[in-house]
Amino acid sequence: MQREEDTRKIAALNDRLRSHGAGGEIYVTSGIHALGTEFVDRALAAIRSFDAFTPDNDPYGEHDFGALEISGKRLFFKIDYYDPTRSRGSDDPTDPAQTLRVLTIMLAEEY
């Protein structure tokens, strides 16, 4: 039961970052950046509205990964959990005070 509650908390925090840009940092790779500002804006908008999480692409239910296509380009996004100093992984991804969420948007070939 606790694991399910933790999973819901993590998914909600991840959704908050992905959908609203709150509670962490968002980065795009050099491959995404090279496609131009308009492409970056479209990618961010698509990821903000992404809700196609399934057991196949989200087996742990944390909403921490997604794949989508924009203008013929396959993109991935991934959320990682670090301690606030970024020196190691977070001890408790359910606790925003102990966790820095980092959302990275990349081309599939950069993964």
Element (H, E) at 19: helix 2-20
Coil/strand/helix, residue 3: helix
pLDDT per residue, tens digit, the chain (111 aa), is: 789 999 999 999 999 999 999 999 999 999 999 999 999 999 999 999 999 999 989 999 999 999 999 999 999 999 999 999 999 999 999 999 999 999 999 999 998
Query: Which residues partner with 77 through β-bridges?
Result: 66, 105
Instruction: Please state the pTM of the whole predicted model.
Output: 0.95
Name the residue ranges covered by the structural domains of the chain: 2-110
pLDDT of 111: 87
Q: Is the separation of the CB atoms in 31 and 104 below 8 Å?
A: no
CA distance 60 to 57: 9
> What b/e string do you get for 40-67 counting C-beta neighbours within 10 Å, with b at 16 or more?
eebbbebbeebeebeeeebeeebbbebe
Q: How many Cα atoms sit within 13 Å of 85 on the Cβ side?
A: 3
